[in-house]
Amino acid sequence: MLKKTVEDSLVKQIEKEAYSSNLYLSMASWAETNGFEGVSKWMYAQAEEEKMHMLKFMKYVNERGGKAVIPAIKQPPTNYKNVQEVFEQTLEHERYVTASINEIVGVCLDEKDFTTHNWIQWFVNEQTEEEASVMAIIDKLKLLDGHNLYMFDRDIVGMRGDVPASQE
């Protein structure tokens, strides 16, 4: 059985994961309508991954005797200056999610909920990978300095390595 403080922190994370999915869908739409097919595929795949994270939190809360709450989601931004801004905002958002996951770790330790602490470690590792992936993309964009985005857009999907077949 989940302690209320642990349950509350996990339910808050459900909302953050849902927002993350919507944010990346919005970025995918912006990229798609601005001729960045590769970036849009990357973002659609990212949105799907965030949805799966949300579902993992929901199932865990429910399986541990809590009650997952489906939140209202605020609308994410819909317009971006350029691809660089899209990925800088992605990195900023991933760092926000990392901080939130770390807060959950702290709650688990405070409450001596070692089961949830063990379970949340998957997300701790996932966030390390997410941030590293986006930082690598930003590094490549800086090398391009706004030039030759056609090749970057063509190659970005391969940087994920896990784009669902439905998005190819």
Residue 147 annotated as binding site: no
Task: Tokens for 153, please give them.
Answer: 């857009």
Q: Is 167 marked as binding a ligand?
A: no
Q: Where are the alpha helices (DSSP H) in 145-163?
A: 149-156
H runs (alpha helix) in 34-113: 37-63, 83-110
49 annotated as ligand-binding: no
Confirm or deny that 111 is annotated as ligand binding: no
- Residues in Cβ contact with 81 at an 8 Å cutoff, skipping those fewer than 6 apart: none
d(Cα 33, Cα 30) in Å, to the nearest integer?
A: 5
Question: Which tokens go with 24?
Answer: 């990346």
Distances (CA, A) of 159 to 43, 78, 95, 119: 12, 24, 20, 27
17 a known binding residue?
Answer: yes
Indicate the annotated binding residues for Fe cation. Answer: 17, 50, 53, 94, 127
Indicate the annotated binding residues. Answer: 17, 50, 53, 94, 127
